[in-house]
A and B are shown apart, each in its own frame.
Chain A
């Protein structure tokens, strides 16, 4: 499997570390226990496109949001996690 880092270009998967689901969001500090259990422990296991966090540790040391089809390993999108978070913040501010 290869990932195209937005900074380094196409690289083998051995340069990256998988972190997990990129769609979970930290609940507010005063959220109930159920929300925290969901955030910390519970994950979906989709058959299809999935957004996940990968770390380019042997390259530019950037966190990336990778959209990977869990059935085929087809990578349809790779973006810098920083850019994804920024876009989300701007969306939230509008």
Chain B
């Protein structure tokens, strides 16, 4: 686990539950943003990541795991991605590994202390998320691996679906907004079930 600057957890509440649908603060591993340098940087970066991590950086709003499963690359804009350590398991640290692999082709910035992950899962997860997020989350158009950069209520989020059974979403939210988003999702959970 990456060393945190913060002594307090970003969300003070314990996991909440409405029926079988659960909202929980997920452990935040190391997170690093990749911003391709202008010019040939983007194309070279895609090639380099493919060579090193065995995966193509997504060209669309998607999240893809590296071949070894240690890193997930989340699309974050046409020239930007967010790399997430999939556990505590990135050997030598995610930042060090990225810097060695592609530090000359993109701006690498640690986001481990800037973002927090809220995980929402269960039979009503789609209905709950749909109350806050103005994006079509229907199974036919938004499934595991899909990503949306949007607003949850008034809060900017990177939303991604990580599983279909049960439906599981992760909201990557700025740390200082996590408590508010947790509250809003909790309210939505109660509303979605009433």
Q: With an 8 A cutoff between CB atoms, is A14 at the interface?
A: yes
In the bound complex, CA of A80 to CA of B77 (Å): 12
Which residues of A sit under 8 angstroms from B135, Cβ to Cβ? Answer: 9, 11
In the bound complex, CA of A93 to CA of B41 (Å): 22
Interface string of A1-19 (1 = CB under 8 A from B): 0000001110110110000
Q: Which of B142-176 contact A (CB under 8 A)?
A: 148-151, 156
- Determine, out of A33-41, A47-55, A56-64, A71-79, the stretch whose residues face the partner at the interface: A56-64
Cβ 8 A contact of A80, one of B60, B61, B78: B78
With A7-B78, A8-B61, A12-B134 known as contacts, the answer to whether A60 contacts B149 (CB < 8 A) is yes
Q: With an 8 A cutoff between CB atoms, is B76 at the interface?
A: yes
With A60-B77, A62-B78, A80-B78 known as contacts, the answer to whether A8 contacts B148 (CB < 8 A) is yes
Closest approach, in angstroms, between the C-beta of A35 and any C-beta of chain B?
28
Size category, B interface: 10 to 19
Interface string of B27-70 (1 = CB under 8 A from A): 00000000000000000000000000000000011000000000
Which residues of B sit under 8 angstroms from A61, Cβ to Cβ? Answer: 77, 80
Closest to A14 in B: B151
Closest to B61 in A: A8
In the bound complex, CA of A43 to CA of B50 (Å): 47
* Interchain CB contact under 8 A, B76 and A60: yes
With A8-B61, A11-B134, A12-B134 known as contacts, the answer to whether A59 contacts B78 (CB < 8 A) is no
Which residues of A sit under 8 angstroms from B60, Cβ to Cβ? Answer: 7
With A7-B61, A8-B61 known as contacts, the answer to whether A62 contacts B77 (CB < 8 A) is yes
Cβ 8 A contact of B77, one of A7, A9, A11, A15: A7
In the bound complex, CA of A62 to CA of B148 (Å): 14
In the bound complex, CA of A60 to CA of B58 (Å): 14
**12 extra interface residue pairs, beta carbon distance < 8 Å, beyond A60-B61, A80-B78:** A7-B61, A7-B78, A9-B61, A11-B150, A12-B134, A14-B134, A58-B150, A58-B156, A59-B149, A60-B76, A61-B77, A82-B78
A positions within 8 Å CB-CB of B: 7-9, 11-12, 14-15, 58-62, 80, 82
> Which 6 A-B pairs have CB atoms at the shortest separation, nearest pair first?
A60-B77, A59-B149, A58-B151, A12-B134, A61-B77, A7-B78
B positions within 8 Å CB-CB of A: 60-61, 76-78, 80, 134-135, 148-151, 156
Q: Can you list 14 residue pairs at the A/B interface with Cβ under 8 Å?
A: A7-B61, A7-B77, A8-B150, A9-B61, A11-B134, A14-B134, A15-B151, A58-B150, A59-B149, A60-B77, A61-B77, A61-B80, A62-B78, A82-B78
